[in-house]
Chains A and B, each alone.
Chain A
C-alpha cells in the first residue's frame, strides 16, 4: 500500500469554471476527510465520510462545493463556479476506525483560480 494519493497535484483554472479533485485513501480505511489549507495556515476541516456516507460538513463548505464517495473507496471533491478565494491546497486524509485514530494525509491538490 502506497498511502493516500490525490489527483491532480496542481490545477489552474479560470474564475467561474468547475473543477473536480480525486482522493484515493489507504485501501482498508473506512474514514475519509477533506481539508482546505491556505498559505501560512493550518488545515481547515471541510467534510468527512464513513464508508460511503457523508456524516459531517463544515460551514466552510458552501453550496458550490460537493463531495462524494460513491462506493466507500475513492472520493471526489467538486467546486462549481470557482472564485479566486477558492485558491488553496485541498488535502485528503484517511483513517481506520474511530475519530481519535491517526489520519494519514495525501500530498494535496493545489488549486489556483485566476
Chain B
C-alpha cells in the first residue's frame, strides 16, 4: 500500500527565516508524482509545488523548493524568506498511475511576526 508520512504535526518559524517540512512515502512504483499543497485557515487547498519522480532535478517555485531523494523516498519542502501569508496546513501528496492520490496528515505551519 502507498502511504505518505508527515512526522511534524506543527511547526513555527519567524518571519523572513527558512523552514523545512518533512515528508516520506512508501511505494513500489517507479513512476509517480509528488506534490505539496497548502490549505490556509478556512480556505481551499492550493498547489505549492509538484515533482515528477523521473526527474532528478529538484523542483523550485520562487521561495519554495523541494529536496527529493528518490532512494530514500523523501520529499521535503523548504520555504525561504517566510511570510505571514505562508501560515497554513501543508500537505504532502503522492499519486501514481492508479489515480488514487494519497495525502499525509499535514503539518500546521505558523509564521510569527
Q: How many residues of A contact B (CB 8 A)?
A: 24
Pair B52/A43 contact, Cβ less than 8 Å: no
B16 within 8 A of A: no
At the interface, is chain A mostly helix, strand, loop or mixed?
A: loop
A99 and B103 contact, CB distance less than 8 A: no
Q: A40-B105, A44-B103 are in contact. Are A102 and B44 (CB under 8 A)?
A: no
List, in ascending order, chain A residues with CB within 8 A of B46's CB.
Answer: 105
26 A-B pairs, CB-CB below 8 angstroms? A33-B101, A35-B101, A40-B105, A41-B105, A42-B91, A42-B104, A42-B105, A42-B106, A43-B101, A45-B100, A45-B102, A48-B99, A56-B98, A91-B45, A99-B33, A99-B95, A99-B97, A99-B98, A100-B32, A100-B52, A102-B47, A102-B50, A105-B37, A105-B44, A105-B45, A108-B44
